[in-house]
């Protein structure tokens, strides 16, 4: 029996709330309702669910918590995503997962240094100019 049914959300702490909000809204997340916590922040939604909680801190902690490597989302329209990242000067890594999956993966950092991954269906086509624009392209 599994006690876990699904991933609920990720939390990012930031001393740059406005930049962080704008960054994730650029990726298509929508700001939505948030409980009246005693600390400032935002909840960002997709498909009616708050998938990213952002908490504002006065200064970033010197020692980061835990061993979480990155947060991953599943997306649509890899071309528009890569063009948006490129237009905003955000370096990215593009990876094609080996067979049999062949999923596309795009990795980049948010304004706080948190690594973000967006996965895309293997049927999507990535033009050469967007592969060449990647900081690193592996098995593409």
- 96 by DSSP, 3-state: which? strand
| CATH code, 69-140 | 3.10.180.10
Distance CA 133, CA 108 (A): 13
15 confidence band (pLDDT: 50, 70, 90): very high
Distance CA 94, CA 71 (A): 16
Report residue 4 as tokens: 């876990």
Which of 57, 14, 11, 65 minimizes the C-alpha distance to 34? 11
Q: Answer yes or no: is pLDDT of 23 > 70.
A: yes
Report residue 54 as tokens: 């952002």
Class of the CATH domain delimited by 1-60: alpha beta
Tell me, yes or no, if the pTM score tops 0.85. Answer: no
DSSP structural state of residue 98: P
Domain edges within the chain: 1-60, 69-140
């Amino acid at each position: 029996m599994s006690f876990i049914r699904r991933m609920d959300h990720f939390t990012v702490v930031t001393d740059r709330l406005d930049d962080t909000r704008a960054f994730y809204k650029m990726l298509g997340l929508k700001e939505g309702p948030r409980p009246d916590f005693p600390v400032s922040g935002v909840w960002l939604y997709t498909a009616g669910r708050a998938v990213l909680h952002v908490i504002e801190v006065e200064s970033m902690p010197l020692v980061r918590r835990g061993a979480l490597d990155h947060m991953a989302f599943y997306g649509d329209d890899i071309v528009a995503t890569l063009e948006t990242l490129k237009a905003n000067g955000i370096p990215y890594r593009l990876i094609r997962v080996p067979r049999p999956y062949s999923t596309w993966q795009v990795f980049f950092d948010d304004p706080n240094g948190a690594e973000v991954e967006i996965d895309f269906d293997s049927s999507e086509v990535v033009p050469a100019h967007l592969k060449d624009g990647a900081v690193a392209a592996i098995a593409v």
